[in-house]
Structure 1
Amino acid sequence: METVLAVERLSVYRGTHQVVHDVSFALEAGTDTALIGPNGAGKSTLVQALLGIIPWQSGDVSLLGRSIRAGKIPVSVRPQIAYLPQSFLFDRGIPMTVAEFVALGWGRPGISLPWRSRIARQRAVVQALTRVNACHLIHQSIGRLSGGETKRVLLAYCLVQPRRLLILDEAPAGLDYQAEAEFYHLLNQLKLNHGWTILQISHDLEMVSRFCDQVICLNRSIVCQGTPDVTLSIENLIAAYGPQFARYRHQH
């Protein structure tokens, strides 16, 4: 099986404080891996380093077979990565439809595009929205979407171009239980039907257990990793979250 992302002994500092220490793991193609751990464990810092948002100080990262330097993801590789943040803030009064927003993920918008390219973009937008069961929203204003609808449209934005790796930082945050379950189910369908490789930060251990193939438990360094049935044992969760882990719940 192809390795999409390989991380070897990665360490990341914020100022003089080491937030991520000596982390190693690999993501195989077509798998969904959850990154879990207590608040302040370094999960978002790790993801931001992998995305090139912040530099790392030591270690090696290989992405889609290309060795990358800290903060220097090759231009040829970057379009194959999609990122979905925890929150997506925008002016809800902006006069933009769902179709216009999703089209931004396809490429540079504007009437200067040749007509064949405009047709190809329109077709890609419809296909992406169809894949996330949101085609009925195509003419809706993005400012009128519910939380669950917004998450689906953001996924469509990621889908409108072929991607190899999807990284999510608590993307279902703010959704109710039913909408969150639907979101995880949708991610699972994208993985199964389109071969997406997924790395997602999550606080919902129930959803992780139901939908993810692998789990990485992080508390500055990796406490444990493996399949959910092994990693989410009581002993491992106590080691990661402390003796009060049973009180730890999804806060959103």
Structure 2
Amino acid sequence: MLHLFRMLLLAVHCLLASVLSLLLTLARPFHPDNSRLCARLYAWPALCLLGIRVEARLDSLPTPEQSCVIVANHQSNFDLFVLGRIVPERTVSIGKQSLKWIPFFGQAYWLAGNVLVDRGNPRSAKRALKITQQTLRQRTTSIWIFPEGTRSLGRGLQPFKKGAFQMAINAGVPIVPVCVSSYAGRLQLDRWRSGRVSIQALPAIPTQGMGSQDLSALMEECRAQMQACIQRLDRRLEANSG
């Protein structure tokens, strides 16, 4: 019963947060800090409603004066709430073109300055890649990407796609991995305290001087670091709950 009640409240909250986000972004369209503020509107109330406690170590996240590519593991739709809590200033994300058609949410997402990509259209994807690279080079704005390209749904860290890493190399900006403990399928939403999630930002991986020949090694290094960190976070949570 508690699970169902939470889902109903969450649906109402998401509708209200979408409307408020749309009003905010209409007032200052494409402002580079819109995305962070909208993410907070969704995240804070939702985490309270769901009974999820988030612990975060974020020393490695960029300051507003720095540009970087932030990569994070993607587990479920709840990432909007779990990770929305920690989105840094002047950070935008890359999302599917289809998001634009979700009432209120999609329009706010676009007006927040996020980049929409039609993954089935190579020309559109290349254009979006060019726009994001220009953003990284010319403005103190960072890009948030899920390199797996899809939700893992509790299956562990999935193979990475190369787009985020190619973008970082071309723009000459560092990659900052953000690791989230395994929570998909583990939350107990029928309890008041449904679970804890731990987040850690790893030290930036520099890309200055790298070329396309370094792409595979860069992807492998980043994925290995994230995999090891996620395992550490999971072990720590299990030890603390015992």
Structure 1 and Structure 2 fold alike (TM over 0.5): no
Category of TM-score, reference length = shorter chain = 0.3 to 0.5
- Provide the TM-score with structure 1 as the length reference: 0.39
Query: Which one has the bigger helix percentage?
Result: 2
Flag the structure with higher strand content. Answer: 1
TM-score by length of 2: 0.40
